[in-house]
Amino acid sequence: MAQDSTEIRKKLFRSPMVEGDRLADNNTSMNLMTRLHIEHDMEHVFKTVNRDMHEQRLKQLRQKLKTLEEDDWRYPSVDKLIGLQ
């Protein structure tokens, strides 16, 4: 019986606004954590994609340089064409 009256008092003095605030705070915290998690994942993916694209560009430039070095013998030097040699 004493336990029932204690429960009744707890329920009586507990504001419904407080319970709502607790739920809202928990929901806000979860939203914030989710947002931060998504931002972190997006930043990680962005960095990875940028690094992969940079490596791809370097690979293409190396290939072009190799091709130019192989074809260099076909053409007269620029210095010779403009009269420096």
Provide the pLDDT for residue 3: 66
Planar angle of CA 20, 21, 23, nearest 5 degrees: 65
d(Cα 31, Cα 42) in Å, to the nearest integer? 16
Provide the pLDDT for residue 74: 87
> pLDDT (tens digit, 9 = 90+) per residue, 9-43?
666 666 555 555 666 677 888 999 999 999 999 99
- Residues of the chain with pLDDT > 70: what percent? 75
Q: In Å, how far from its chain's centre is CA 5?
A: 54
Least confidently predicted of 3-17, 19-33, 51-65, 70-84: 3-17
Does pTM top 0.85 for this prediction? no
